[in-house]
Amino acid sequence: MLIYAILIFAAAYYLLPLYVMLTTSLKTLHQVNNASLLSLPDPITFKPWAEAWSSACMGVNCSGLQHYFWNSVSFVLPAVFISTVFGALNGYVLTKWQFRGSNLFFGLLLVGTFVPYQMFLLPMAWTLGKIGLSNSIGGLVLVHSVYGLAFTTLFCRNFYVSMPDELVKAARVDGAGFIRIFWRIVLPLSLPILMVSIIWQFTQIWNDFLFGIVFTSGTHQPITVALYNMVDTSSTGIKRYNVDMAGAVITALPTFIIYILAGRYFVRGLTAGSVKG
Amino acid sequence: MSVLTIRKINKTYGNEAVLHDINIDMQDGEFLILVGPSGCGKTTLLNMIAGLESVTGGEIAIDGRRINGLGPRDRNIAMVFQSYALYPNMTVRGNISFGLEMRKVPRPRRSEIVNRVAKTLQIEHLLDRKPAALSGGQRQRVAIGRALAREPSLFLFDEPLSALDAKLRDEMRTELKILHQRLKTSMVYVTHDQIEAMTLGDRIAVMYGGRVQQLGAPQDIYDNPTNRFVAGFIGSPAMNFIPCELAEENGAFGVRLSGGEETRLLPLPDAIADKLKSWGRGKAVLGVRPEHVTPSTAEQQTEAVSCPVNVVEPTGPNTYVFSKVNDVEIIVRCTPGHAPEAGSRAKLEFDLSKALFFDPETDDRVA
Ligand SMILES: Nc1ncnc2c1ncn2[C@@H]1O[C@H](COP(=O)(O)OP(=O)(O)OP(=O)(O)O)[C@@H](O)[C@H]1O
Ligand SMILES: [Mg+2]
């Protein structure tokens, strides 16, 4: 019984902020200012959502989050895709086509997962400037792909280590080459780990604030930075908590949806290989 | 014509040499067994033939064509792996036709071949299943089917039966033998099971420590092993090895054996005695198989040695008696009705015409 009490308490503790965000985003500003934080919206209004989406101001620019939402989508999807595909390829090479020094190579890559974000900033900014990608969506795609590669490689390598080498040998004897084996045999068996990689990368990149604010400005910024600016702008006049909350929910929504769609693979992928299937 | 020629093959991993100077010549249609204990280099050799492992030194030729540098796909071989290595994401049909697809065999021809192979192996009803939905024996068949689909010069098997339970293993062994007799294809078959080696092989290469110790027909290896390792490895229960003195008394040359009481000098047949005399040493290791020692029935047998009967193990067709001669344990094979009782003493007759002698230091055969 106690364990359930603790679990329910923990769940409530984590759900309460979400509850406040959701209810506040559906309240009129009048109710926000005059009723309790925990009260249900009465009447329910979608106006804060509409405003956050299309007319809230970030500084002098009053066109809502929508532009920035699509900004985020346009660099998150390619970055997730690129880092996942190359992570899988790296893992495949590091386990099934080992070369002299491949373990050292993996060790160095692993160090990449320990390097703090902040250390990347200056060298990366310099590099982006040199190759003409500063302040652009392409630049963000590159930064996130490279930074994520260490993680996706780690995931995939550990997954492929438990995949029998004989599968690859059998395919080689059957006449398949490097790419064909990857495409026809290895990749179809990788769904669980690809899901882990996609969820992880999507969450990391979508929620990123630091790279976004450092490497972009103005209309190229991701939604996380835009949200910050929006909240910051509204704080100069009257605080419109309902619009801020709606903006926050909109910003969080994609990762939420990804978890709902692919979450069960996440757990499965993380535990795959630990039990022989 | 030889389908496979292996000349002076060496293999080293880093500084560690795992194969030394392997020479094998294999005739077309032959069933060749590579047998030996774990770690002796069987899989390494097979993988080198397949092209999955690089060759450190020497030469491999298939159908008279040197293939050292070629990849597995260009060697005209098919291989069955110990763990089956079926592609889990494909159906049985997909597994069998994958190799054909990679070799650009047209689709109608592929399905023809799949059906033919499935019929041969009686797996027609399984064609649309995934490997996960198959039993161990069925997976084994599919793995063999995948190899049969292409018509290579050479089939390679790496311990294909070792993952099956005993009964299924016996069945599949017989089936493989029938398959080989019917298809007359050349096969190299790796196993560490000497029974499999004896029953399946046209010829056996016994490997140990990265060397081929002996290459020959099963019966020949059984009767005429070249050294103590081969003698002890082939045959079950294993050959008895008894350290003994060689001596000449009253003009008869023989071995001294003792079961703990009196010591007897058992005379050796002339052919063996001559070889031992010219070898010229006083001590040797006598090798004698369990079926060549029998409890004596006659009371007054001068050629028999009185020995203790420590343990009696009936197995059904045979009963094995554990005894002690010259202070080493030996196993004696008896017919069930004629086994002595445990705890008693028995007179044991040694058929010395079948006896082998080994050098105690080098383990080489001397007679
Ligand atoms: N990649 C490798 N690096 C270093 N040593 C290796 C490697 N692969 C195999 N060996 C060594 O080579 C020797 C032969 O190995 P191999 O797998 O050929 O043995 P095996 O006869 O097939 O044994 P088993 O019956 O257990 O399968 C072993 O001592 C093994 O440790
Ligand atoms: Mg092996």
User: What pLDDT digit, counting tens, does each position of A244-262 carry?
Assistant: 999 999 999 999 999 888 8
Residue B157's closest CA among B196, B122, B183, B121?
A: B196
Judged by DSSP in three states, B258 sits in strand
pLDDT classification of A277: cutoffs 50, 70, 90: very low
Tens-place pLDDT, residues A195-246: 999 999 999 999 999 999 999 888 899 999 999 998 887 666 778 899 999 9
Calculate mean pLDDT across residues B324-330: 94
B265's tokens:
């000098």
Count of residues making up chain B: 367
Phi, psi (rounded to 5 degrees) for A260? -65, -40
Question: Rounded CA gap, B81 and B21, in Å?
Answer: 25
Closest CA of chain B from A180, distance in Å: 9
Question: Rounded CA gap, B306 and B339, in Å?
Answer: 14
CA B247: distance to chain centroid? 35
Q: Judge residue B258's burial from the number of C-beta atoms within 10 Å of its C-beta, 0-12 exposed, 13-18 middle, 19 or more buried.
A: middle
Asked if A174 has any chain B CB less than 8 Å from its own CB, the reply is yes
Residues of chain A found within 8 Å of residue B71, distances taken between Cβ atoms = 172
Q: Which of A159, A167, A173 would best serve as a mutation to test chain B binding (most B beta carbons within 10 A)?
A: A173
Whole-number pLDDT of residue A269: 66
Cα torsion A228, A230, A234, A239 to 10°: value is -70
Nearest CA to ligand 1 atom 22: B43
Q: Do A170 and B87 touch (CB under 8 A)?
A: yes
Asked if A189 has any chain B CB less than 8 Å from its own CB, the reply is yes
Is residue A134 over pLDDT 90? no
Please name the residue that has the structure tokens 């994520």. A148
Give the strand order in the sheet containing B65-66. B16-27, B2-13, B57-62, B65-66
Calculate mean pLDDT across residues A125-132: 92
Question: What rounded mean pLDDT belongs to chain B?
Answer: 92
Is residue B84 over pLDDT 70? yes
pLDDT classification of B167: cutoffs 50, 70, 90: confident
Q: Which of B13, B53, B82, B206 to mutate to test the pocket of ligand 1 (most atoms within 8 A of CB)?
A: B13
Asked if A184 has any chain B CB less than 8 Å from its own CB, the reply is yes
Residue A25's closest CA among A67, A70, A65?
A: A65
pLDDT classification of B164: cutoffs 50, 70, 90: confident
Calculate mean pLDDT across residues B319-343: 92
Asked if A176 has any chain B CB less than 8 Å from its own CB, the reply is yes
Whole-number pLDDT of residue A275: 40
Is residue A107 over pLDDT 70? yes
Q: Do B87 and A180 touch (CB under 8 A)?
A: no
Minimal Cα distance from B90: which residue of A?
Answer: A185
Q: For B310, what's the count of Cα atoms within 13 Å in the CB-facing half-sphere?
A: 12
pLDDT classification of B168: cutoffs 50, 70, 90: confident
**Nearest beta carbon to residue A189 from set B71, B82, B88:** B88
Calculate mean pLDDT across residues A141-152: 93
Judged by DSSP in three states, B129 sits in coil
Whole-number pLDDT of residue A234: 64
Ligand 1 and B85: CB distance under 6 A: no
Q: Are A208 and A223 in contact (CB under 8 A)?
A: no
- Domain span(s) for CATH 3.40.50.300 in chain B: 2-233
Question: What rounded mean pLDDT belongs to chain A?
Answer: 89
B337's tokens:
């009705």
Is residue A273 over pLDDT 70? no
Calculate mean pLDDT across residues A9-16: 93
Minimal Cα distance from B144: which residue of A?
Answer: A170
Closest CA of chain A from B103, distance in Å: 7
Name the H helices within chain B: 42-50, 92-102, 107-121, 136-149, 166-183, 194-200, 218-223, 228-233, 270-279
Phi, psi (rounded to 5 degrees) for B188? -110, 125
Of residues A272 and B193, more confidence is placed in B193
Query: Assign residue B41 a region: left if phi > 0, alpha if psi is -120 to 50, beta otherwise?
Result: left
Whole-number pLDDT of residue B299: 65
Please tell me the class of the A66-226+251-272 domain. mainly alpha
Is residue A114 over pLDDT 80? yes
Whole-number pLDDT of residue B301: 60
- Domain span(s) for CATH 1.10.3720.10 in chain A: 66-226+251-272
Ligand 1 and B226: CB distance under 6 A: no
Whole-number pLDDT of residue A271: 61
Q: Do B89 and A171 touch (CB under 8 A)?
A: no
Ligand 1 and B42: CB distance under 6 A: yes
Q: Which ligand 1 atom sits nearest the alpha carbon of residue B207?
A: 21
Its pTM stands at 0.84
Name the H helices within B4-162: 42-50, 92-102, 107-121, 136-149
Residues of chain B found within 8 Å of residue A171, distances taken between Cβ atoms = 87, 98
Q: Are B240 and B289 in contact (CB under 8 A)?
A: yes
Ligand 1 and B265: CB distance under 6 A: no
**Nearest beta carbon to residue A175 from set B47, B89, B102:** B102
Asked if A187 has any chain B CB less than 8 Å from its own CB, the reply is no
Question: Rounded CA gap, B182 and A74, in Å?
Answer: 63
Q: Which of A17-21, B137-141, B217-221 has the highest mean pLDDT?
A: B217-221
Residue B364's closest CA among B275, B301, B295, B293?
A: B275
Whole-number pLDDT of residue B144: 92
Q: Judge residue B307's burial from the number of C-beta atoms within 10 Å of its C-beta, 0-12 exposed, 13-18 middle, 19 or more buried.
A: buried
Give the largest Cα separation in chain B, rounded: 83
Tens-place pLDDT, residues B277-301: 999 899 999 999 999 999 887 766 6
A101's tokens:
């020094």
Closest CA of chain B from A157, distance in Å: 19
CA A228: distance to chain centroid? 18
Q: Which of B18, B38, B52 to mutate to test the pocket of ligand 1 (most atoms within 8 A of CB)?
A: B18
Q: Which of B81, B95, B151, B154 would best serve as a mutation to test chain A binding (most A beta carbons within 10 A)?
A: B81
- Its CATH architecture, for the domain B2-233, is 3-Layer(aba) Sandwich (3.40)
Q: Do A167 and B77 touch (CB under 8 A)?
A: no
Count other C-beta atoms under 10 Å from residue A204's C-beta.
18
Calculate mean pLDDT across residues B187-210: 94
Closest CA of chain A from B154, distance in Å: 12
Q: Which chain B residues touch A if contact means CB-CB below 8 Å? A: 47, 50-52, 71-73, 77-79, 81-83, 85-89, 98-99, 102-103, 146
Q: Are A208 and A56 in contact (CB under 8 A)?
A: no
Give the type of residue at B44.
Answer: T
**Structural element, H or E, at residue B29:** none
What pairing do the DSSP bridges indicate for beta strands B77-80 and B154-158? parallel
Ligand 1 and B201: CB distance under 6 A: no
Q: Do A166 and B82 touch (CB under 8 A)?
A: yes
ipTM above 0.90? no
Residues of chain B found within 8 Å of residue A173, distances taken between Cβ atoms = 50, 52, 72-73, 77-79, 99
CATH pick for B240-358 out of 2.40.50.140, 2.60.40.420, 3.30.2350.10, 3.40.50.300: 2.40.50.140
Minimal Cα distance from B149: which residue of A?
Answer: A174
Q: Are A198 and A265 in contact (CB under 8 A)?
A: no
b or e along B93-132 (b: 16 or more beta carbons within 10 Å of the residue's beta carbon)?
Answer: bbbbbbbbbbeebeeeebeebbeebbebbebeebbeebbe
Residues of chain A found within 8 Å of residue B104, distances taken between Cβ atoms = none
Task: Give the distance (Å) from ligand 1 centre to CA of residue B38.
Answer: 8
Task: Give the distance (Å) from ligand 2 centre to CA of residue B36.
Answer: 10
Question: Rounded CA gap, B245 and B247, in Å?
Answer: 6
The region of weakest confidence among A37-51, B27-41, B87-101, B279-293 is A37-51
Task: Give the distance (Å) from ligand 2 centre to CA of residue B206.
Answer: 14
Question: Rounded CA gap, A179 and A88, in Å?
Answer: 12
pLDDT classification of B29: cutoffs 50, 70, 90: very high
